[in-house]
């Protein structure tokens, strides 16, 4: 969700299920004059297609060009970005969807990529994303990152810099299993935080019903890349 001062509305993008038997997941947009809603949805989806490819939208007003952009993607397909029209109701005429991160490029967490979130820091665009299995008995999920000089890319994955084949900056540890699908926010002191969900390791070990718990950790940029700090 973001606020558009030109139209004096909060703009909310969301994923939804189609009510027909052919179309899969869709991305819709809704508007409200106040952040708590109620939000009024537009009557047609922005994008739809087969399976769960069209989910996990993240809208961004580029701080440099002021273009309105939408990042989205999952379903074993690339994460994409495309410019949005001024009214947020459609993609800008003449624009095309650009692939920014492809699945299968790293040795870990890369079978499926989803959950895009973009942060602009010191002239660079940082694309945070997650993969590759958030849930179930074989949950294997992590937050990864790639970096670019342009919001449309090309994006360089962290693994391409380190040569490790792993672009993750947040993985499982002794307390949490399968952390991922993050967003970022800055508090009143200027501290950057990552919000994400994860599974409690003791519950997973006991084969208890999975609860994906909301967590937050501070984030700092160090040597040109984000680092997630753990306080436990």
For the chain, what are the domain ranges?
Answer: 2-170
Give the sign of the dihedral formed by CA 43, CA 45, CA 50, CA 55. Answer: negative
Does the global pTM surpass 0.75?
yes
Per-residue tokens: 95: 């624009």
For the chain, give the number of residues.
232
Between the alpha carbon of residue 115 and those of residues 30, 57, 163, 205, the distances in Å are 19, 8, 24, 26
> What is the C-alpha radius of gyration for the chain, rounded to an integer number of angstroms?
18
CATH class of 2-170: mainly beta
CA 121, CA 103: separation in Å to the nearest integer? 25
Per-residue confidence of the chain (232 residues) as pLDDT tens digits? 999 999 999 999 999 998 887 889 999 999 999 999 999 999 999 999 989 999 999 999 999 999 999 999 999 999 999 999 999 999 999 999 999 999 999 999 999 999 999 999 999 999 999 999 998 878 999 999 999 999 999 999 999 999 999 999 999 999 999 999 999 999 999 999 999 999 999 888 887 777 899 999 999 999 999 999 987 6
Among 191, 213, 141, CA closest to 170 = 141
Under 8 Å between Cβ of 93 and 85: yes
Between the alpha carbon of residue 151 and those of residues 46, 58, 154, 167, 220, the distances in Å are 20, 13, 8, 19, 21
Under 8 Å between Cβ of 175 and 232: yes
Identify the pLDDT of residue 232: 64
Pairing status of strand 225-228 against strand 192-200: unpaired
Identify the pLDDT of residue 147: 98
Eight-class DSSP state of 45: -
């Amino acid at each position: 969700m973001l606020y558009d001062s030109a139209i004096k509305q909060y703009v909310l993008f969301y994923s939804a299920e189609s009510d027909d038997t052919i179309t899969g997941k869709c991305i819709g947009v809704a508007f409200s004059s106040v952040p708590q809603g109620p939000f009024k949805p537009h009557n047609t989806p922005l994008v739809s297609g087969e399976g769960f490819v069209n989910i996990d939208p993240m809208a961004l007003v580029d701080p440099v060009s002021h273009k309105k952009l939408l990042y989205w993607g999952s379903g074993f397909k690339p994460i994409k970005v495309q410019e949005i029209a001024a009214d947020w109701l459609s993609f800008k005429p003449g624009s095309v969807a650009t692939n920014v991160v492809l699945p299968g490029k790293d040795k870990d967490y890369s079978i499926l990529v989803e959950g895009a979130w973009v942060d602009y820091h010191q002239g660079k665009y940082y694309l945070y994303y997650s993969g590759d299995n958030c849930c179930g008995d074989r949950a294997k999920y992590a937050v990864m990152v790639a970096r670019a000089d342009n919001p449309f890319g090309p994006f360089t994955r962290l693994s391409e810099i380190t040569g490790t084949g792993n672009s993750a900056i947040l993985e499982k540890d002794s307390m949490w299993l399968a952390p991922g699908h993050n967003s970022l926010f800055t508090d009143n002191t200027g501290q950057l935080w990552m919000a994400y969900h994860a599974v409690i390791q003791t519950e997973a070990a006991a084969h208890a019903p999975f609860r994906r718990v909301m967590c937050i950790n501070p984030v700092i940029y160090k040597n040109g890349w984000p680092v997630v700090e753990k306080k436990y």
